[in-house]
Chain A
Amino acid sequence: MKTAPGVRAGMTGVGLRSVHYPDLLGRPSTAVDWFEAISENYMDSEGRPLEVLLKIREDYPVALHGVSLSVGGVEGPRSDYLRRLRRLADRVDPFLVSDHLCFTGAHASNVHDLLPLPYTEEAIVTVARNVAIAQDALGRRLALENVSSYLSYRESVMTEWEFLIAVARRADCRILLDVNNAYVSARNHGFAAEDYIDAVPAELVAQIHLGGYSDMGTFLFDTHSRAPTPPVWELYRRAVRRLPDAPTLIEWDADIPEWAGLEAQAVQARAIRREEHELKPA
Chain B
Amino acid sequence: MSSSPLERLQRRFVRSVTFAADADLIAAVTGGGRLSAAEAIGVYRDAYPARLTEALGETYEACWRVLGDEEFFAAARDFIARAPSRSYNMSDYGEGFPEFLESRPHAEDAPFIGDLARLEWAFLRLFHTRAHEGLEPAALAAAAGSESILRLGAACVLLSLKHSVYGIWKRDRADDTPLEPTEWDGAQRLVLYKRGTNQIFARELSVPEHAALTALAQGRPLGAALDTAGLDEDGARELFAFAADARLIVAVVGG
Measuring CB to CB, which residues of chain A are less than 8 angstroms from any residue of chain B? 40-41, 43-49, 51, 68, 70, 73-74, 78, 80-81, 103, 105-113, 115, 117-118, 120, 122-123, 126, 149-155, 185, 187-189, 216, 218-221
Contact = CB atoms under 8 A, between A and B. Distances in A.
Contacts of A149: 32
A150 B44 contact: yes
B84 A152 contact: no
CB-based closest 8 A-B pairs: A219-B33, A188-B32, A46-B130, A151-B40, A109-B84, A68-B88, A45-B128, A48-B198
Contacts of B201: none
| Chain A, interface SS category | mixed
A151 B32 contact: yes
B20 interface: no
Contact of B198 (A47, A68, A80): A47
Given A106-B14, A151-B40, A218-B35, A113 B6 contact: no
A49 B6 CA distance: 37
Interface in B1-27: 4-7, 9-11, 13-14, 17-18
Contact of A150 (B33, B52, B84, B90): B33
A111 B198 contact: no
Interface of B: 4-7, 9-11, 13-14, 17-18, 28-35, 37, 39-41, 43-44, 47-48, 51-52, 84-92, 126-131, 198
B54 to A, nearest CB: 10
A120 B10 CA distance: 14
A47 B47 CA distance: 29
B182 to A, nearest CB: 34
19 contacts: A41-B91, A48-B127, A80-B88, A105-B17, A106-B11, A109-B14, A109-B84, A109-B86, A111-B44, A122-B5, A150-B31, A150-B40, A151-B31, A152-B29, A187-B33, A218-B35, A219-B31, A219-B43, A221-B43
B3 to A, nearest CB: 8
B128 A44 contact: yes
A105 B129 CA distance: 28
A74 B35 contact: no
A248 B91 CA distance: 28
B89 A154 contact: no
Nearest to B52: A112
Given A48-B198, A219-B32, A219-B33, A151 B41 contact: yes
Contact of B32 (A41, A80, A111, A150): A150
Nearest to A78: B88
B10 A106 contact: yes
Given A187-B33, A218-B35, 9 more contacts: A68-B88, A68-B89, A112-B52, A112-B90, A118-B9, A154-B30, A188-B32, A218-B33, A218-B34
A94 B126 CA distance: 27
A108 B84 contact: yes
A3 B29 CA distance: 49
